[in-house]
Homo-oligomer: A and B are copies of this chain.
Amino acid sequence: MNLLAVELRKDVLEANRDLVDRGLVMGTFGNVSGVDRDAGLFVIKASGVPYEALTPAHMVPVSLETGEPLETDFRPSSDTPTHWELYRSFDGCGGVAHTHSASATTLAQARLPVRCLGTTHADHFRGDVPVTREMTREEVDGAYELNTGVVIVETFHEGGISPEEVSAVLVANHGPFTWGKNAAKAVEHSAVLEFLARLECMILAVAPDVPRPADYLIDRHFLRKHGSKAYYGQG
């Protein structure tokens, strides 16, 4: 194992632990990965290992070219092919996180998007977080986890959504995937998405037909934090 992957493993382990600390997973659910595109690999949590038992050794390196594990000590997360597909299709994607967090999963089960209804949302995602279509029997009976990734990518391509501007998705009847420039950012987006999904669930309960905010408000908030004209933070 080269040294770069050792650092990456530490980062990805840290990000997996962060997922637990933020209350986004229950039991052994959920997984985070991070990529090193120059090294041609990503590392991802081993399958079904309790979070408190995780060490860097449980962060399994996977080839970016073949999607196959580069080590055989531990079996990688069963969701590995989904992560792989996202790394292959979304250029700027440096880390991926998957949770079954309560509110985001509720909306995924209701097959409803997380609508962009305010500045909290627009500070992070420029527009609705979409929900995928249902998967077909062929997709589920075949390479299910890979096809989950394929359907996510299709959702962005067909919807004309930029995965850089909206770095999250709800997979229908399943749950959320998020991504970012690295594993830590992917987890942060999972936390933000769960918060926004919680607001969306509350709004659907109290005022489902609320009008949307104006586009110029969304753009103002997204662009004050992202891109060349950002003026949030210490820059």
Question: Which residues from chain A sit less than 8 Å from chain B, CB to CB?
Answer: 26-29, 46-49, 74-75, 78, 100, 102-103, 105-112, 117-120, 123, 134-135, 137, 140-141, 144, 172-175, 188, 191-192, 195, 198-199, 201-208, 210-211, 213-214, 216-217, 220, 224, 231-235
Complex: chain B residue closest to A194, CB-CB: B26
Given the known A-B contacts A75-B234, A140-B217, A205-B204, are A105 and B192 also in contact in the complex, defined by CB atoms under 8 Å?
no
27 cross-chain CB contacts under 8 A: A26-B192, A27-B188, A27-B191, A28-B233, A48-B234, A49-B233, A74-B234, A75-B234, A78-B224, A78-B232, A106-B199, A109-B118, A109-B213, A110-B206, A111-B210, A118-B175, A120-B174, A134-B213, A135-B217, A140-B214, A140-B216, A144-B220, A172-B213, A173-B213, A173-B217, A204-B205, A204-B207
User: Contact between B119 and A210 (Cβ–Cβ < 8 Å)?
Assistant: no
Task: Report the separation of the CA atoms of residues A199 and B174 in the bound assembly, to the nearest whole angstrom.
Answer: 12
Distance of A234 from chain B, by nearest CB (Å): 6
User: Contact between A207 and B118 (Cβ–Cβ < 8 Å)?
Assistant: no
Known: A46-B234, A102-B195. 17 other contacts (CB 8 A): A26-B191, A29-B120, A78-B224, A105-B120, A106-B199, A109-B210, A109-B213, A117-B173, A118-B173, A118-B174, A119-B173, A119-B174, A119-B175, A120-B174, A172-B213, A173-B213, A205-B206
Question: Which of A74, A110, A112 lies at the interface centre, i.e. has the most chain B CB atoms within 10 A of its CB?
Answer: A110
Distance of A110 from chain B, by nearest CB (Å): 4
**Cβ of A123: which chain B residues have Cβ within 8 Å of it?**
29
Question: Which of A109, A123, A144, A208 lies at the interface centre, i.e. has the most chain B CB atoms within 10 A of its CB?
Answer: A109
Task: Report the separation of the CA atoms of residues A120 and B173 in the bound assembly, to the nearest whole angstrom.
Answer: 9
Copy tally for this chain in the complex stands at: 4
Task: Report the separation of the CA atoms of residues A207 and B131 in the bound assembly, to the nearest whole angstrom.
Answer: 15
User: Contact between B109 and A199 (Cβ–Cβ < 8 Å)?
Assistant: yes
